[in-house]
Amino acid sequence: MSKKRRIEITIEAERSVILRKKRNNAQAWCAHCDAQVRMLTPEEATLVAGVSLRTINRWVEAGKLHFTETPERLLLICFNSLVSDRRS
């Protein structure tokens, strides 16, 4: 009688995200932080947080992230609120 062998393969992956500063790096006043902070587009926020754009929008709607809208109606997200532990 032959024995069946089980082979288990474990794959580890590491992900690094590098955000390069642009010349027009958005800085704005965050009333919640009471400070001048770096503001991110929703797309940049997805890279920093490692979540989907839909999740970022849910966090904004739930008040878990500080944000502002530009006169052109573009959404900007407070970097400090994005990296804090308060989203849990």
- Axis crossing angle, helix 53-61 with helix 42-49, rounded to the nearest 10: 100
Quick one: pLDDT band at residue 10, thresholds 50, 70, 90?
A: confident
How many Cβ atoms are within 10 Å of 47's Cβ, its own excluded?
14
pLDDT at 22 > cutoff 60: no
Q: Give the residue extent of every domain in the chain.
A: 27-87
pLDDT at 26 > cutoff 60: yes
pLDDT at 6: 84
pTM, 2 dp: 0.68
Q: Do strands 75-78 and 27-30 pair parallel, antiparallel, or not at all (unpaired)? A: unpaired
pLDDT one-digit tens code per residue, 45-83: 999 999 999 999 999 999 999 999 989 999 999 999 999
Query: Greatest CA span in the chain, whole angstroms?
Result: 76
